[in-house]
Structure 1
Amino acid sequence: MSRVALSALVFAAVAYAQSSVPTFPATPLISFSFPHPTDAPEQVYGPDRTFVRGPQSGYNRCNSTTENQNSLCQTSFVNDITDFCLWAPQTSNSTIADTEGEEVAWCTKKGHGTRIMLDGTLQGIQVLNTPDYTMITGLIDQTKVNIQSGDAGGELDSGGQDTAGNPIGGLMYSTRFSPNNAGQIIHWTEFIGNNQFCIKICKNDGTNPEGFCQHTLDRIGLGFNCPSKYTLGGGTSAGTFEVCDSDNMIVPGIYTLPGGTTTSYAQPPESLGPIQTVPYTPVAAASSNCVTSASSALYTDLLTVSTSATPSASGSATGSAGTTKATGSGAAASGSASRSGSASGANSTGASQSGADALHMSMVATALGTLFAVAFFA
């Protein structure tokens, strides 16, 4: 075989291998614009859009026909203390690590086309409202939203390791910054696990939505990303439900050295093992004007009888969310395990991406090996 022919075959093999490997989506989740829930498509990432992970397991066009305990709705809402949703697994006894790309919306109110939380799910809440974001933190019986007892959980966000979000294609809406109509929230993040949760939505045109709702510190947990009296162990007991005005938090990862210099923290690569220490202590922002209510007055739509949460064909679309795995530190800052392939942002390389790269290299190596063998025996 001539060198020209061999070079042509090698080039063709490499091109074939590259074309056969899933890639990042051309349009990241945060770049899609669906201003109102009625603008949402059937799926943001449909069956024809398989990248490093995917396709999307649920659907985004949700209504009364999809509102049941088998709903696969992946359009979520955070409006106020009485009306918000949490991302959680589709099937019982799941871990966030194994299902982060497939989570569905569990809401406190009917009318969103989603699953409804069970009575007793929420055991204490603090809502902190600032001009730039709303953050809801609290205590939860996570088994009532299909999370395995004892699971340390993890982070869900609008980034994801492949920019498609966790859950893949998940959309977020709120009346918080557009009171007359629910508007799309571009940057949001949720931590859930160890019977705690935090969900944070940032104003699209706020002073720093990417910073306040950043999602690159998933391994150090909820306390650093959502500092509040619940997440920092400030003595708040179960049974307190309150809404407060708040100053802006310090952007997660930013801290001041003893000499007065401001610097930033970046979590180390997962290859270095569990994070043992973080060089600063998170502090909750000052809050005021807190109004406390009884949970019975806030949550009148919660279900009192558990029904099967096994997904069915109800709703518009189905699919497989892939095989992303992780071992999250999640909601607890003391968690020792990292989340390979977790929602650590487009700048991190999770297990799924690494797996795709490995597959890519394997295919190229196989093709090249075959071609060189042909050339050798020619």
Structure 2
Amino acid sequence: MALAAFLATLPSVKAAGVLATGPQGPTNPPEPTLGTSINQTSFARLLSVNSVDDFCLFAPPAPQNIGDSETYEVAWCTKPRNDARVIPDGTITGVSFLKTDFYVQILGYGNLTRLNVPNGDYGGELDPHGQFGAGNPIGGNVTSNVTGSDQHFAEWMQYISYSQFCLRICTNANSTYSAADMCWHELDEMGCEFVMPGNYKVNGTFESCDADVAYPPGWYPTATISGTPVFSTFAQRYTGTESNGHAYTVGDTATPSAPYSTPSSSDCRTTSTISNGIPLTALGLAAASTSRTASKSSSGAKSSSSAPASTAGATKQAKSGERKTKDYSSVDLLKMISGVGAFLLFN
């Protein structure tokens, strides 16, 4: 049974884990707000993802590799909102905004050195959990109004490099697919196109589409039993060291070349560009290029076959303390063993 057809048979619920219940970060406004003052030194960490021309991204407050600054990234928005920093016009060169029944997703390209991502940094992964359980960045929150009103959502993930980004906010759940499943963020080395599949051939265009729902990242349907799909799962290979000095290795030795499928899109609308009309001088930038150059990050990512710039992802193998565990809900044959900041999925 196709995923879209199977999802249609299940009740849609705002289950536990969909709407955020924690407090706003201390630097954030209490609610998403348009028309806030321009402050390019802001440390607000509230993202909103509402449309192709109204969205925010997490990026460094000053030039620094994503892998080294993920706990204190700040919000950058295409419009003056949320007391955040404003993304300068011309920074974003292509965007695909996808609305599905289970998540809203935005992906795109640009000169993200203007957002303090060093040139050549293949990037990193941000999520609401992080090493200390308070989020990467700490106090980071996200909202979207795609359900009809501004709502705060518990599960989300963002990959960003010097030239590409992708961001998913999980807005729904049912008895088979939790919001945490749909925003499963442990496959950071695989890059945007594997974890958040969609139309990545958009550099130079700006589109808004409805889309089918992708299977959760790393899930592959293998059979159907009594009308319910059974999955195998891919776990990223990881080698680390326990506190007692013993080495361990978890994950799969074989890496899949692609996600199970790329969901189809429909009702796509394009716009010529996105712009807030704010002069560069008001944002503290000269009209000339603001590209910064820095040494390439030691963290790598899987490159895309469709565009050389499709590199957003992160390698955290040098930071074993940052590996995250998850209480993975059982789905038929899916099992998990947690341990030492890593996990093992039996296929």
- With normalisation by structure 1, the TM-score equals 0.64
Say if 1:176 and 1:102 are closer, same or farther in 2 by CA, change over 3 A. Answer: same
1:33 to 21, 38, 57: 21
Q: Given the alignment, which residue of 166, 170, 187 partners 1:202?
A: 170
Number of aligned pairs? 277
Residues 22-77 of structure 1, C-alpha deviations (whole Å, 9 max, x = no match): xxxxxxx999626xxxxx6562xxxxxxxxxxxxxxx1237777641000001111
SS at match of 1:70: coil
Shift of 1:349: 5.6
In terms of Rg, which structure is larger?
1
| Aligned amino acid, residue 170 of structure 2 | C
Residue equivalent to 1:247: 212
- Is contact 1:67–1:112 with CA below 8 Å preserved after alignment? no
Percent identical pairs in the alignment equals 32
* 1:344–1:130 distance in 2 versus 1, CA, 3 Å: farther
Shift of 1:279: 2.6
Contact 2:98/2:209 (8 A) holds in 1: yes
Residues 79-107 of structure 1 show CA distances to partners (whole Å, capped at 9, x for unaligned) of 11121100000002x11011000000000
Distance 1:76 1:336 in 2: 20
Report whether the alignment pairs 1:299 with 2:270.
no
The TM-score normalised by the length of structure 2 is 0.69
Q: What's the CA shift for 1:237?
A: 5.0
Alignment of 1:73 with 2:44, yes or no, is yes
Structure number with the bigger relative contact order (C-alpha 8 A, sep ≥ 6) is: 1
Q: Displacement of 1:307 after TM fit?
A: 4.7
Match 2:155 to one of 163, 166, 187: 187
Change (3 A) 1:336 1:252: closer
The answer to whether 1:345 aligns with 2:345 is no
Provide the residue aligned with 1:228 in structure 2: 198
| Unaligned ranges ≥5, structure 2 | 1-16, 241-248, 286-296, 305-310, 327-338, 343-347
Contact 1:200 1:213 in 2 (8 A): yes
Q: Which residue of 230, 233, 252 corresponds with 1:264?
A: 233
Q: Could you tell me how far apart the structure 2 residues matched to 1:331 and 1:145 are?
A: 22
- Secondary structure of the residue aligned to 1:211 is helix
Give 1:350 shift: 6.4
| Partner of residue 159, structure 1 | 129
Preserved CA contact (<8 Å) 1:142 1:193: yes
Aligned-residue offset at 1:167: 0.2
Equivalent residue letter for 2:216: V
Determine the C-alpha separation between the residues in 1 that align with 2:179 and 2:212: 15
Which among 243, 249, 255 is matched to residue 278 of structure 1? 255
